Structure 1
Amino acid sequence: MGINSQNETQMVVGADDGHDTIKLCYGWDSKTGAWRYGYHKSRAVEGLQQVMSIGSPASAGGAYETEGKRYTVAGAQNLLQALDTRMEGYPLSDLNRTLVAHSLAACGLGDTPVYLITGLPVDQYYKNGAPNQELIGRKIESLAKPVKRIGKGAVLALVGGQSVISEAIAAFYDALIQPDGAFDADIEALIARRPVAVVDMGGKTTDLVVVAEHVSSVYKDQSGTKDIGVLQLLDQVAEQIKSEFGLNDNPPLPYVEEACRTKKYELFGEDVDVSHIVEAACEAYLERVKNFFVSKLRDGSTVGAVVFVGGGTALIQSALGEEAFASIYRGKRFIPREPEYANARGMWKFGMYVLDPAERTIQAPAAIKGAQANLPRVSTVEPV
């Protein structure tokens, strides 16, 4: 099912609005067998900066105002001292709202009515074993507040209805549900007889969710969130590059990310080998994830499989190979293609195949535009 079939409904957009990156999924093209993605780093500065960009609109930044605050979203400006998104309350912040609005516009969804599905970490989504409706409602209210572009740039999307689900549960939906809505036979057979764990290695945190048999609930005592994130790994790599090469300051974050991908760092116009720095940092990061897993599930023998997702999974897979995950769980492991997009894909699948279609029906264009300034309808569908 392609996005062009959504003629009478709000376009479903899954937005994994993380501390490191905003990753969007807004459809599946059955003709080409490709997902429609958006990707933008969660980098912005407070106030207005001069912004100019050449190249694709998706790589450009932009200036915005919301709730009396002004932000400049970084495009290709690698040296901007971006705000640290690891602050408390980021999911409800003006900064988060600005970054989400920019990312939707950068995908070319200007003037498009969208049904937006976002997520929260496990420890925030659940409270006393049930969805934290108060926090979920506050996040929906935050993202419904208006954002205004300052100056020229892509037209902003029109956010109508919203849902919020647990990020790791979204990744489980991605594993279970195929692009056309059918269930994956292997995952369906597994969850029918044994719990399945999801390890979501994100920018600020690592989530562990144990989905109960038949997707009936979540085992809360075996699930949780730990402050183990890719941003910490990048900080460690930056510190080590600074120390080893006698630099005055830590290298900019985009340079460090490139070094983690290529295992080389461009220093004074020459590439130097930093594979030992990257691999050592990845091994230390993986050890911390393992300790968290063991604290919840011991050897993991009670689950039928573990699904590894998130940007951290993609980085470890690139740096150390898939077998590195055997140090966490020696049983059946699933790593989806493009694991960094698993949450966004799962959010889209939730909106398309789990949510009641009436939730995303367009009543009238004026009503959708009005939702920019008013609290939209809140979905009460519980994902598990």
Structure 2
Amino acid sequence: MKQQLMGIGQDDGHDTIKTCFGYDTATGTYHYGYHKSRASAGLQQVMSVGNQHGSAYETEGQQFTVATGQALLRTMDTRMVNYPVSDLNRTLVNHALSDVGLGGQSLYLVTGLPVDQYYKDSKPNVELIENKMQSLAKPVTRIGAGAPLAKIVRQKVVSEAIAAFYDALINHDGTQNASIQQIIARRPVAVVDMGGKTLDIAVVIENVGGVYGHRSGTENIGVLNLITKVGARLKSQFNLSNDPPAKYVEEALRTKQYEFFGESHDVSQIVEQAVQEYVGEVAQFFVAKTGDGSDLGAVIFVGGGTALIRSALGDTAFASIFQGKCLVADDPEFANARGMWKFANFLLSAEDRTVDVPAVEEVPTIAAGARKKAA
């Protein structure tokens, strides 16, 4: 018996796990999951109010407690080199899949790697790609009550920035975006992906013929660095003893307000200055990789950093990075996940997502009758 696997895209980043698991034609919206990449080692005592499911897991002999909104829970720093193949990453991925309602489902999961990790000497880093898929294939079990976990049956790993390009090129129904197709047919297109740990730049070759390796790369100037910087400035300006929790600092970046001792304060000057500095860092790396960018047809801006720049400074800020056609993705933090979902559902063949399922043996009706008669 054949079974069609459900194609899922998941951007399993250092700051946030973004999942795309469908499109609603009635409302014209994608189905998303958004989970912060925050967990503590071991089992943490968090007192429950109400009938809440547990968020503790075990994998490969390691136990983790996922922070499901607890801003004050001390969590592990994900900015480690082996994060994509770690027990922590595997736990966060499985938690996110279950939490969006995919528990028990058989999945074809598409995830990603930053440009500098996906490519090695301008070719796919096969060893790391295989190691990541092998890591995610290892079992994870939930400790305590909760929804079942998803079944990751098959996988694919793509470059994160290239996934964002797929998102721009392919519409929700698998057709191509005519304007993007016209640009890439005659000129390269750069993708600037401002993620949690990293800033990725990928310059896509004309007609989607690959990536210009010498014009692409990764720098460790992601959103987590910006959050750390703003948190330090808030602590200094308001003479705080405690470090402001990252969750609240990120909220301040979006709202320009921060609450101290139960009262809200305007912190727009701190936020705008820090984001301006961040834009300058992005511009410096962009110039280092692409020069003035005059030979590019367009630049697509995606990622959580793009969302923060847009909320703090507006879309005009991107012109200080690239003076040509700047395309800011809708819901930019989900662009990679959407591109991975489109890859799973429109670029893979039906055979790739089809697996054999053993037939379930039916109990002969005569046996059922015999049991009834004996009773």
Alpha-carbon distance, 1:360 to partner: 1.1
The answer (yes or no) to whether the contact 1:310–1:341 under 8 Å persists in 2 is yes
Contact 1:53 1:76 in 2 (8 A): no
Matched with 1:240 is 233
Deviations 1:183-218 (A, max 9, x none): 000000000000000000000000000000000111
1:61–1:76 Cα contact (<8 Å) kept: no
Moved more, 199-208 or 246-255: 246-255
Question: 1:43 maps to which residue?
Answer: 38
2:114 equivalent to 1:113: no
Matched residue SS, 1:359: coil
CA deviation profile, 1:19-59 (whole Å, cap 9, x unmatched): 000000011111221101111000000000134556897xx
CA spacing shift, 1:366–1:38, aligned 2, 3 Å: farther
User: Which residue does the alignment assign to 1:140?
Assistant: 133
Aligned length: 359
User: How far apart are the structure 2 equivalents of 1:63 and 1:365?
Assistant: 32
- Give how far 1:61 is off: 6.0
Q: Post-superposition shift, 1:362?
A: 3.0
CA distance in 2, matches of 1:88, 1:108: 30
Question: Who is 1:221 aligned against?
Answer: 214
- Gapped runs of 5+ residues in structure 2? 361-375
Q: Find the counterpart in structure 2 of residue 24 from structure 1.
A: 19
C-alpha separation between the residues in 2 aligned to 1:365 and 1:18?
35
1-structure distance, mates of 2:144, 2:359: 25
Match in the other structure for 2:67: 74
What is the SS of the residue equivalent to 1:179? coil
Post-superposition Cα deviations, 1:112-170, rounded to whole Å, max 9, x if no partner, equal: 00111000000010111111111100000000000000001121001100000000000
Secondary structure at the aligned position of 1:107 is classed as: helix
Other-structure match for 1:12: 7
The runs of 4+ residues in structure 1 deviating greater than 3 Å are: 51-57
Q: Does 1:348 align with 2:335?
A: no
Q: State the alpha-carbon separation in 2 of the partners of residues 286 and 61 from structure 1.
A: 40
- Structure 1-normalised TM-score? 0.91
Q: Tell me, in whole angstroms, the C-alpha distance in 1 between the residues paired with 2:315 and 2:294.
A: 20
Q: Is the contact between residue 103 and residue 147 of structure 2 (CA under 8 Å) also seen in structure 1?
A: yes
User: Displacement of 1:17 after TM fit?
Assistant: 0.2
**CA distance, structure 1, for counterparts of residue 50 and residue 329 of structure 2:** 31
Pairing partner for 2:150 from 142, 145, 157? 157
Does 2:346 align with 1:327?
A: no
Q: Does 1:305 align with 2:305?
A: no
Separation in structure 2 between the aligned mates of residue 125 and residue 325 of structure 1, nearest angstrom: 26
Letter in 2 for 1:29: D
Q: RMSD across aligned C-alpha pairs, in angstroms?
A: 1.6
Structure 2 counterpart of 1:280 = 273
CA separation of 1:233 and 1:55: change in aligned 2, threshold 3 A:
farther
CA contact (8 A) 1:61 1:74 kept: no
Matched, 1:176 2:172: no
Structure 1 position 92, deviation (Å) = 0.4
Q: 1:98-125 CA deviation, whole Å, 9 max, x = no partner?
A: 0000000000111000111000000010
Report which of the two structures shows the higher radius of gyration computed on alpha carbons. Answer: 2
- Give me the whole-angstrom Cα distance separating, in 2, the residues matched to 1:300 and 1:251: 38
What is the aligned partner in structure 2 of residue 200 from structure 1? 193
TM-score by length of 2: 0.93
- Name the CA shift for 1:161/1:55 in 2 (closer, same or farther; >3 Å): farther
Tell me how far apart the structure 1 counterparts of residues 348 and 50 of structure 2 sit (CA, whole Å): 38
Contact 2:56 2:63 in 1 (8 A): yes
Counterpart in the other structure of 1:372: none
